[in-house]
């Protein structure tokens, strides 16, 4: 009986440690970063083989005005940062003029489950 309790206790401790390690690895703390890239409609980008640019602008604007998830595809790396926070509120109201444009955005970047997010603090069209 005592051996059985010891085995159960060790098993529970191992499971607890694995869960804690997994949770710690799942998200990376936010840090301030500056990104230069194109504002895209994420569902179209993911579902239509990277749909972006001037040729996709009217579709992206329609989706953005409906509240579709917008993101920035970083120049050079093609890293995708989903936009969160106040800039994505009210059906992307503050982002409409930036859709399919190259921008410079600053904000807190975080990562969870291998996906990157940016909570924009400032954004402007790139020169």
**Could you give the domains of the chain?**
30-125 (2.40.50)
DSSP single-letter state for residue 110:
E
The predicted structure's pLDDT at residue 80? 96
The predicted structure's pLDDT at residue 89? 92
The predicted structure's pLDDT at residue 10? 65
- The SS3 call for residue 35 is strand
21-to-24, 25, 48, 102 alpha-carbon distances in Å: 5, 6, 35, 38
Q: How many residues does the chain have?
A: 127
The predicted structure's pLDDT at residue 25? 45
CA distance 56 to 79: 19
The predicted structure's pLDDT at residue 3? 72
The predicted structure's pLDDT at residue 123? 96
- pLDDT tens by residue, the chain, 127 residues: 677 767 565 655 556 555 554 444 445 566 789 999 999 999 988 887 777 888 888 889 999 999 999 999 999 999 999 999 999 999 999 999 999 999 999 999 999 999 999 999 999 999 7
CA distance 119 to 88: 9
CA distance 117 to 85: 10
The predicted structure's pLDDT at residue 45? 86
The predicted structure's pLDDT at residue 32? 85
The predicted structure's pLDDT at residue 82? 96
CA distance 3 to 68: 56
């Amino acid at each position: 009986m005592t051996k059985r309790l010891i085995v159960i206790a060790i098993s529970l401790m191992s499971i607890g440690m694995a869960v804690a390690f997994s949770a710690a690895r799942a998200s990376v703390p936010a840090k301030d970063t500056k990104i230069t890239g194109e504002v895209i409609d994420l569902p179209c980008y993911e579902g239509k083989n990277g749909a972006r640019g001037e040729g996709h602008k009217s579709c992206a604007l329609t989706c953005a005005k409906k509240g579709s998830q917008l993101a920035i595809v970083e120049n050079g790396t093609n890293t995708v940062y989903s936009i969160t926070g106040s800039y994505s509120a009210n059906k992307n109201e503050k982002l409409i003029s930036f859709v399919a444009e190259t921008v410079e955005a600053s904000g807190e970047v975080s990562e969870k489950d291998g996906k990157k997010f940016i909570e924009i603090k400032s954004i402007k069209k790139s020169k």
